[in-house]
Amino acid sequence: MEKADDAIRIKKESIWKFSTFALGILVIVMCFFIFGGDDTFFWTTGNVVSEPELSANDEPSEVGAEDDAFLGDENAPVTVVEFSDFQCSFCARFWSETLGQLKSKYIETGKVKFVYRDFPLTSIHQMALPAAEAAECVREQGGDEAFWEMHDKIFGNQNRLSQESLREWAQEIGYDIDVCLRSGKFRGEIQKDARDARTAGAGGTPYFLINGKALSMACPFNAFSQAIDAELAGKNWESPGNCQVVVE
């Protein structure tokens, strides 16, 4: 009888040890997904930054509008530069919730020149770089108007991003980008944008420069409005973080 009791006790101890081990593994997995997994799970205002794929010989260069695609008057008094990632969910949120308001109040009224530059977070977004290349391939053939049409296609269908869909969307607006995509001809230009983003202090996407001053992450329209209005009025402003704007 004692042997039977001992066997039962050993079995219970084994089950307890196994349960404790399994629970520990579950906790580790949950922590991974919350703090290190899908970038849309934990972050509330923007994506965690990831180093782009750069050459060892790359060096930072002066940050500005460069010759990238833009909206609005080229000589507008305020220039807003967006560093963005086509696979970033918070970049898509800015596109769907804020960019339209900026267009109607500032861009279409000649007050703001809005520039799009690439900051693909390649280690967490597999399709970010191909999407950026696809948009540049379209721009090469159709200019800035075609670029923005492709830009809207990508963000409007972000959950369907693939190599095939990028080619399909380009064809839908009238462009064949297959040869261009396979050549990788715009990869260096995109990498330069990524260098400039880091030089400007980007810690995630989307990241904005308003006349050279930083406003980071997926901020609401009123944060942009305060900063732009301050620039138009010749007032000083700064962003201490968390989408807050302090005007002096």
Domain match, 116 and 30 both = no
On whether residue 42 sits in a domain, the answer given is: no
d(Cα 25, Cα 78) in Å, to the nearest integer?
Answer: 52
On whether residue 232 sits in a domain, the answer given is: yes
pLDDT for position 67 = 87
The pTM of the whole model exceeds 0.85: no
Domain match, 99 and 15 both = no
pLDDT for position 198 = 95
Domain match, 32 and 52 both = no
Domain match, 228 and 158 both = yes
pLDDT for position 218 = 85
Of 86-95, 102-111, 197-206, 219-228, the range with the lowest mean pLDDT is 197-206
Mean per-residue pLDDT for 198-216? 94
Domain match, 72 and 20 both = no
Q: How many domains would you assign to the chain?
A: 2
pLDDT for position 7 = 45
Q: What is the DSSP string of 127-170?
A: THHHHHHHHHHHHHHHHHHHHHHHHHHHHHTGGG--HHHHHHHH
Of 28-37, 109-118, 189-198, the range with the lowest mean pLDDT is 28-37
Range of the domain at 67: 47-247
Domain match, 78 and 197 both = yes
On whether residue 19 sits in a domain, the answer given is: yes
